[in-house]
Amino acid sequence: SSKIRNMEVQSTDGVAVLEDCIGFSLTKTISKVEEKLKKGVLPDCPDDDIIPRAGNEMGTEAQIRFLKAKLRVTQEDLANVVFECRKKDDENQNLETRLKDTEEENTRLQRTISLQQSQTEKYKMLSQEANKKTEGLQQEVTALEKVLQ
């Protein structure tokens, strides 16, 4: 995600260009394709749907305009995907922060619960001791009343 964040989208002659895209250079790729075209090395790909069948009847300049338009649309789609990835990355960061805060709050509450449970046990013991003392004193009072009568 850090590599996606570092991508910058620039506009050159009305065509969006992604730079610093994980070693990918659109300019180099286009240059390589152009060199192969000049040498006539590129194989014919009948399954290639980049240019529709009607494109075979188009002139070279029309094909170039068509491909530039298709490239522009593809780059816009890529820019949208990059934007969505950044948005999702930000959302993930927010959720991770909330999760961390929630875990810290949970830990704090667990400590509070533990402290309150120990205090409850302490007060139960004090209550039991007080009840035993009260019973002893009640028996003593009963015995003293019998002696006085």
Break the chain into its structural domains and give their ranges. 67-148
**So what's the pLDDT on residue 97?**
97
Tens digits of residue pLDDT in 36-84: 777 766 555 555 556 666 556 678 888 888 889 989 999 999 999 999 9
In this prediction the pTM is 0.48
128 backbone dihedrals φ, ψ, rounded to 5°: -65, -40
Q: Which two tokens stand for residue 39?
A: 């040498």
Is the predicted pLDDT of residue 18 greater than 80, yes or no?
Answer: no
Q: Which residues pair with 17 in a beta bridge?
A: 10
Angle, CA of 116, 117 and 121, to the nearest 5°: 115
Give the residue with greater pLDDT, 84 vs 10.
84
Alpha carbon distance 96, 101 (integer Å)? 9
* Range with lowest mean pLDDT among 25-34, 50-59, 69-78, 93-102: 50-59
Alpha carbon distance 71, 95 (integer Å)? 35
Confidence band (pLDDT; 50, 70, 90) for 9? very low
**So what's the pLDDT on residue 10?**
45
Q: Spell out the residues 6+ positions from residue 59 whose beta carbon is closer than 8 angstroms to its own.
A: none
